[in-house]
Amino acid sequence: MTVLDQLEQFEEEALASIHRAEDLEEIQAIRVKYLGREGLITGILRGIGDLPPDQRADVGQRGNAVKQAIESALEEAEACLERARRRAQFEAQRLDVTAPGKPWAPGNYHPLGQTFDQVLDILVSMGYAIVRGPEVEKEWYNFSGLNIQDDHPARDMQDSFYVTEDVVLRSQTSPIQLRHMQAVAPEIPVRIVGPGRTYRRDTEDMSHSPVFHQCEALLIDQEVTFGQLRWTLTAFARRLFGPSVDVRFRPSHFPFTEPSAEVDISCMFCHGQGCSTCKGSGFLEILGAGMVHPQVLINGGYDPDLVSGFAFGMGIERLTMLKYGISDLRLLYRNDTRFLAQF
Ligand code: PHE
* Cβ-contact 299, 215 below 8 angstroms: no
Pocket test for ligand 1, best of 173, 174, 257, 293 (most atoms within 8 A of CB): 174
pLDDT in tens, 114-156: 999 999 999 999 999 999 999 999 999 999 999 999 898 888 8
Taking residues 61-68, report their average pLDDT. Answer: 93
CATH H-level, domain 111-340: superfamily:
Bira Bifunctional Protein; Domain 2 (3.30.930.10)
For position 307, what pLDDT does the model report? 98
* Ligand 1 atom with the shortest distance to the CA of 313: 7
For position 180, what pLDDT does the model report? 98
Q: What is the DSSP letter of 208?
A: B
**Is residue 174 in contact with ligand 1, taking CB distance under 6 Å?**
yes
Residue 105 has pLDDT above 80, yes or no: no
38 CB neighbour count, 10 Å cutoff: 9
- List CB contacts of 128: < 8 A, sequence separation 6 or more: 191, 192, 193, 217, 219
Reported as a pLDDT band with limits 50, 70 and 90, residue 277 is: confident
pTM of model > 0.85: no
Give me the sign of the Cα torsion angle 46, 47, 50, 55: negative
pLDDT in tens, 248-264: 999 999 999 999 999 99
Taking residues 14-31, report their average pLDDT. Answer: 93
* Ligand 1 atom with the shortest distance to the CA of 260: 10
Q: Residue of the nearest CA to atom 2 in ligand 1?
A: 313
146 CB neighbour count, 10 Å cutoff: 26
C-alpha 341/C-alpha 258 separation (Å) is 43
Reported as a pLDDT band with limits 50, 70 and 90, residue 101 is: confident
3-class SS at 143? coil
